[in-house]
Amino acid sequence: MAHDGIGARLPRKEDRRFITGAGNYTDDIVVRNAAHAEFVRSPHAHARILRIDVSAALRAPGVIGVLTGAELADDKVGGLICGWMIHSKDGSPMRAAPYAPLARDVVRYVGNPVAIVVAETKNEARDAAELVEVEYEELASVVDPAAAQAPGAPQIHAEAPGNTIYQWALGDKGAVDRAFAGAAHRVEVDLINNRLVPNAIEPRAATAIYDRAEGRFTLYTTSQNPHVTRLVLSAFVGLAPEHKLRVVAPDVGGGFWSKIFIYPEETVCLWAARRLGVPVKWAADRRESFLADAHGRDHVTHAEMAFDASHKIVGLRVKTIANLGAYMSTFSSSVPTYLYATLLSGQYDIPAIYAEVDAVYTNTTPVDAYRGAGRPEATYVVERLMDIAARRLRIDAAEIRRKNFIRSFPHQTPVIMNYDTGDYEASLNAALSAARYAEFPARRAEARSRGKLRGIGLSCYIEACGLAPSQAVGSLGGGVGLWESAEVRVNPVGTIEVLTGSHSHGQGHETTFAQLVAERFGVPTDQVSIIHGDTDKVQFGMGTYGSRSAAVGMSAVNKALERVEAKARRIAAHLMEAAESDVELKGGEFVVAGTDKKIAFANVALAAYTAHNLPPGTEPGLKEGAFYDPVNFTFPAGTYVCEVEVDPKTGAVEIVQFTAADDFGTIVNPMIVEGQVHGGLAQGIGQALLEGCRYDRDSGQLVTATFMDYAMPRARDLVSFNVSTTATPCKTNPLGIKGCGEAGAIGSPAAVINAIANAIGVERIEMPATAQRVWETCRAAQAAVAAQ
Amino acid sequence: MAQINVKVNGRAVSKQVEDRTLLVEFLRETLGLTGTHVGCDTGQCGACVVHLDGRAVKSCTMIAAQASGSEITTIEGLAKGDELHPMQAAFHRHHALQCGFCTPGMIMTAVDLLRRIPHPDEATIRANLDGNLCRCTGYHNIVKAIAAVAESGAGV
Ligand code: FES
Ligand code: FES
């Protein structure tokens, strides 16, 4: 039998349905008599709603109903929530304003939903939506986070004076001030972490059904965490109690965090299904995805780092303004705080860190977590500073990092995190040798002979995954626990079903979770089914994001498997008339040590269900559940090396080589892990070179609202990546897994920008480093040289 | 209403649809062939690619009526029964898909690419994927899968 346990490069079990067109995505699901929804959205960034006239729309062909915020309020449907309380440094709670699923009095961003039109066909709904007349009084708007705090800026919510949601701080300010006062060298940088649109290729969609006889709702939706969706819709929005609401997230076409949040559209569809008495189906078009899916990043940062005479870091000071958009989305408050500032120590032994973060409202689409969520922003700050310091202090970019690495574990940083294990030198060395770093000068010289500027850039990232120890999360303001649940059901014939609260939307859980079972029980993976994404089947779960499925979800499965094994062993020992302690599980069989007595796992399963001969006091059946709550975060880390060629005549940047050396601890399926890294790298490189969400400063219009205006990375923008891993298994979970889903997006932007800066010979260039920006930077650099 | 007479995956179909019906809507909603996806509204993502008389087209940028009289192959019609098309098999073997949403369009594009250019180098493969977006894989394994099929000569 082929090895298909932990470590096997097993092709994915789920592939067949996707490559044959048999996937079952939300918009593919056909519900009898379903009506179609179209949202009427604000065309203005900021305006008062004076009047909404739906009469013409109601008379249009096929229209079943048109609902506005007034009816929503009549039905006492609650507002959407932000689930993480942040306190400002003065102790006051964050100033979260109400977030109504349909705006009633004021619209606050272009795309803010105002009404829902439900009709028999999609085209009828669209046509009728055009007939909804909304009279607006336009108000001044602000889209830039720094401008939002300026005196006289338009006030977006009465609850948040000066548009400031919180002014939060982490670390020891006094220690940092003292470190800077006594430092031999100081470097500083101003950075913008550009706003991004997640753009999973499957747009969001929902079908909501209300069963009047049972008083029960079903919501099919593009979600990464159906149980959390159900919890929020029940407990906060108040649409249905949990036992009367089934949320199903079937095949989901990518998420990158954007399908975690509880959004207005899905909520309104669910309510409309009950109010109008028809199933309501909605599928976003791409323009709506741009307007209505939570955006990512959007930080403005000033950062300073201090060094002693031997180039050891003595302090880090960071001030960030984070744009949270027009309303506070589900996890938005935690992203620029506990998912960001806690990672500012990077891979380095930094004795003193102080970070201040202001979160502001602007007249833009809500901003929340996007692949990496806070950690890419932290890595970008730290790794840009390291590069600038190396340049100013005239030492090699690898050496300055090596000199400052944390080398003993566990390591307590000054910003909450306690790193359990790591070997940063190992991943640095692996990356440098794979990238042929030592021979770079020859390559640079050769490129110069062709008129090209060749540059190399490093980024040594760290991230905190395995979200998260529930108690720690609770003490920091989180509204939920971040454990995971699992149930393992062994059938009488020995096939196995694993129910998990994790959700796969591309990660390959149907394969990797089955590998875990194969490893333990020796059953082939095709005899294992992984069941997820349906609140009627899986009791509870926290879903998939933050690279948590392997580290937390699999740990829960592992715990349930242990319990199944313990019971099966007891039954096997009884059947073989041996002491339990003499019975071992080997290759799918229970054997009595030192004898030829054995019994196949499947036969033990059968015995558990026939129950003819069980040990005294043993219940029939073979099924166990478990909840796993992590005791710490996990800390994947690694080094990325990017090599670019810049054409100074056109500003075009070509990535000629990209090398990644990651430490993810234990790896269940290297093929899938490499795929996760490839995808993350593409998103990070996209951020560095291409992607930038733009709002018009005066009108607040989203200028980049299609794939023609927002540059997504395409195949020809990228190269084949050179990826490898080193491993220091995580010490705080049973499998040693750290998580791999976000690393690529976290580590790569700084590597790309450092490479471009190195090529041109400048300190600073903003993301996205478009050809125009690069060309201008080259021209300015040439002018500066000429002036000397 | 428009009368559409087409052959889809070898089967002749005749249907009346609203004039403005897009080919992708006809396939997904009228015929229930939901393997063809919609990822954008500007003809940029390629999730909707099908073969029309043997050539790759974006079914979101065509009115169904324009396709009347043609032979269409969708992702559902690519395998021969249980036997996968070599491109499907290569996508599986090389892990060229994650969420699977771009995959049908990507496979249909890739098959057409090798029909036009049987032995492309990596740069040519990448350039010819310009009309298809994938947000999950970083294209690395997609390029690898297409190159593997090209090398084996099994593409057409
Ligand atoms: S749906 Fe056809 S190109 Fe995007
Ligand atoms: S596999 Fe998800 S978009 Fe390509």
pTM beyond 0.80: yes
Q: Does A505 touch chain B (CB under 8 A)?
A: yes
Q: Which two tokens stand for residue A84?
A: 């993480």
Mean pLDDT of B92-102: 98
For A274-284, write each residue's pLDDT tens digit: 999 999 999 99
Is there a single domain that holds both residue A132 and residue A57? yes
Q: Residue A469: is its pLDDT beyond 90?
A: no
Mutate to test the interface with B, among A25, A201, A204 (most CBs of B within 10 A): A201
Using a 6 Å cutoff on CB, does residue B23 contact ligand 1? no
- How many residues comprise chain B? 156
Is there a single domain that holds both residue A620 and residue A665? no
State CA A116 to chain mean position distance. 29
Q: What share of chain B is helix, strand, coil (3-state, %, to 5)?
A: 40, 20, 45
Q: Which two tokens stand for residue B112?
A: 């057409």
Name residues whose C-beta falls within 8 Å of residue A106's C-beta, 6 or more positions apart in sequence. Answer: A46, A47, A48, A49, A139
* Mean pLDDT estimate for chain B: 97
For residues A313 and A305, the answer to whether their CB atoms sit within 8 Å is yes
Mean pLDDT of A514-537: 93
E strand map for A101-184: 106-107, 113-119, 133-138, 164-171
Q: Which residue of chain B has the CA closest to A671?
A: B95
Environment class of A236 (CB within 10 Å of its CB; exposed 0-12, middle 13-18, buried 19+): middle
Distance from CA of B69 to the nearest CA of A (A): 24
CATH superfamily for domain B86-152: [2Fe-2S]-binding domain (1.10.150.120)
A671 contacts in chain B (CB < 8 Å): 95
For A702-738, write each residue's pLDDT tens digit: 999 999 999 999 999 999 999 999 999 999 999 999 9
Environment class of B19 (CB within 10 Å of its CB; exposed 0-12, middle 13-18, buried 19+): exposed
The CA distance from A412 to A59, in Å, is 66
Q: Which residue of chain A has the CA closest to B107?
A: A19
Residues 734-763 of chain A whose Cβ lies under 8 A from any Cβ of chain B: 744
Return the amino acid letter for B123: A
Residue A720, SS3 per DSSP = coil
Q: Which of A22, A12, A560, A548 is closest to A250 using CA atoms?
A: A22
In a domain, A14, yes or no: no
Residue-range definition of the domain harbouring residue A604 = 483-628
- How many residues comprise chain A? 788
Using a 6 Å cutoff on CB, does residue B135 contact ligand 2? yes
User: Nearest bound ligand to CA A256?
Assistant: 2
Using a 6 Å cutoff on CB, does residue A670 contact ligand 2? no
Is there a single domain that holds both residue A263 and residue A372? no
Is there a single domain that holds both residue A36 and residue A90? yes
Query: What separation, in Å, do the N-terminal and C-terminal C-alpha atoms of chain A show?
Result: 71
Q: Which two tokens stand for residue A160?
A: 């948040």
For A398-425, write each residue's pLDDT tens digit: 999 999 999 999 999 999 999 999 999 9
pLDDT tier at A510 (50, 70, 90 boundaries)? Answer: very high
Q: Which two tokens stand for residue A271?
A: 């309510």
For residues A665 and A636, the answer to whether their CB atoms sit within 8 Å is yes
Q: Which residue of chain A has the CA closest to B99?
A: A506
Is there a single domain that holds both residue A409 and residue A530? no
For B18-35, write each residue's pLDDT tens digit: 999 999 999 999 999 999
Is there a single domain that holds both residue A427 and residue A372? yes
Using a 6 Å cutoff on CB, does residue B45 contact ligand 1? yes
Q: What is the pLDDT of residue A346?
A: 98
In a domain, A144, yes or no: no
Percentage of chain A exceeding pLDDT 70: 100
Q: Does B47 touch chain A (CB under 8 A)?
A: yes
Q: Domain tally for chain A?
A: 3
Return the amino acid letter for A238: G
Q: What is the pLDDT of residue A783?
A: 92
Nearest ligand 2 atom, CA B136: 2
Domain spans of chain B, in order of start = 2-76, 86-152
User: Nearest bound ligand to CA A14?
Assistant: 2
Residue from the list B76, B137, B144 with its beta carbon closest to the beta carbon of A20: B76
Is there a single domain that holds both residue A499 and residue A570? yes
Using a 6 Å cutoff on CB, does residue B60 contact ligand 1? yes
Mutate to test the interface with A, among B29, B36, B51, B95 (most CBs of A within 10 A): B95
Q: What is the pLDDT of residue A2?
A: 52
Q: Which residue do the tokens 């609902």 mark? A: A67
For residues A352 and A372, the answer to whether their CB atoms sit within 8 Å is no
Q: What is the pLDDT of residue A544?
A: 83
How much is the CA Rg of chain A, to the nearest whole Å?
Answer: 27
Percentage of chain A exceeding pLDDT 90: 92
Is there a single domain that holds both residue A679 and residue A589? no
A202 contacts in chain B (CB < 8 Å): 37, 39, 99, 101
Is there a single domain that holds both residue A648 and residue A525? no
In a domain, A160, yes or no: no
Mutate to test the interface with A, among B33, B38, B126, B135 (most CBs of A within 10 A): B135
* Mean pLDDT estimate for chain A: 96
Is beta strand A164-171 parallel, antiparallel or unpaired with respect to B49-52? unpaired
Q: What is the pLDDT of residue A245?
A: 96
Record: contact B91-A17, CB cut-off 8 A: no
Q: Which residue of chain B has the CA closest to A507?
A: B98
User: Nearest bound ligand to CA B132?
Assistant: 1
Q: Does A171 touch chain B (CB under 8 A)?
A: no
Give the ipTM: 0.98
Q: What is the pLDDT of residue A1?
A: 42
Mean pLDDT of A644-661: 98
For A60-78, write each residue's pLDDT tens digit: 999 999 999 999 999 999 9
Q: What is the pLDDT of residue B156?
A: 59
Out of A547-551, A603-607, A652-656, pick the least confident.
A547-551
The CA distance from A739 to A762, in Å, is 35
Residue from the list B45, B78, B95 with its beta carbon closest to the beta carbon of A675: B95
In a domain, A722, yes or no: yes
Record: contact A715-B139, CB cut-off 8 A: yes
In a domain, A713, yes or no: yes
Return the amino acid letter for A213: A
CA atoms within 13 A on the CB side of A277: 3
For A134-143, write each residue's pLDDT tens digit: 999 999 999 9
Mutate to test the interface with B, among A9, A15, A19 (most CBs of B within 10 A): A19
At A566, which CATH number? Answer: 3.30.365.10
Q: Does A126 touch chain B (CB under 8 A)?
A: no
Which of B37, B95, B98 has most ligand 2 atoms within 8 Å of its beta carbon, as the pocket-test mutant?
B98
Distances from the Cα of A50 to the Cαs of A42, A75, A106, A136, A141, in angstroms?
Answer: 13, 21, 9, 5, 18
Environment class of A488 (CB within 10 Å of its CB; exposed 0-12, middle 13-18, buried 19+): buried
Q: Residue A740: is its pLDDT beyond 50?
A: yes
User: Helix (H) and strand (E) counts for chain A?
Assistant: 20, 28
Is there a single domain that holds both residue A607 and residue A665? no
Record: contact B98-A254, CB cut-off 8 A: yes
Nearest ligand 1 atom, CA B43: 3
Q: Does B1 touch chain A (CB under 8 A)?
A: no
Nearest ligand 2 atom, CA A254: 2
Is there a single domain that holds both residue A623 and residue A638? no
Residue with CA closest to ligand 2 atom 4: B134
The CA distance from A695 to A141, in Å, is 11
Nearest ligand 2 atom, CA A201: 3
Record: contact B92-A30, CB cut-off 8 A: no
Q: Residue A592: is its pLDDT beyond 60?
A: yes
B42 contacts in chain A (CB < 8 Å): 286, 706-708
Residue with CA closest to ligand 1 atom 1: B38
Name residues whose C-beta falls within 8 Å of residue A377's C-beta, 6 or more positions apart in sequence. Answer: A193, A297, A299, A301, A320, A336, A340
Percentage of chain B exceeding pLDDT 90: 97
Q: Does A30 touch chain B (CB under 8 A)?
A: yes
In a domain, A358, yes or no: yes
State CA A65 to chain mean position distance. 36
Domain final position from A602, A628, A654:
A628
For residues A163 and A142, the answer to whether their CB atoms sit within 8 Å is yes
Residue from the list B91, B99, B103 with its beta carbon closest to the beta carbon of A505: B99
For A294-336, write each residue's pLDDT tens digit: 999 999 999 999 999 999 999 999 999 999 999 999 999 999 9
Environment class of A168 (CB within 10 Å of its CB; exposed 0-12, middle 13-18, buried 19+): buried
Class of domain B2-76: alpha beta
Q: What is the pLDDT of residue A472?
A: 87
Return the amino acid letter for A763: E
Q: Does B154 touch chain A (CB under 8 A)?
A: no
Alpha helices in A436-507 (DSSP H): 440-449, 470-475
Q: Does B17 touch chain A (CB under 8 A)?
A: no
Is there a single domain that holds both residue A443 and residue A511? no
Q: What is the pLDDT of residue A481?
A: 83
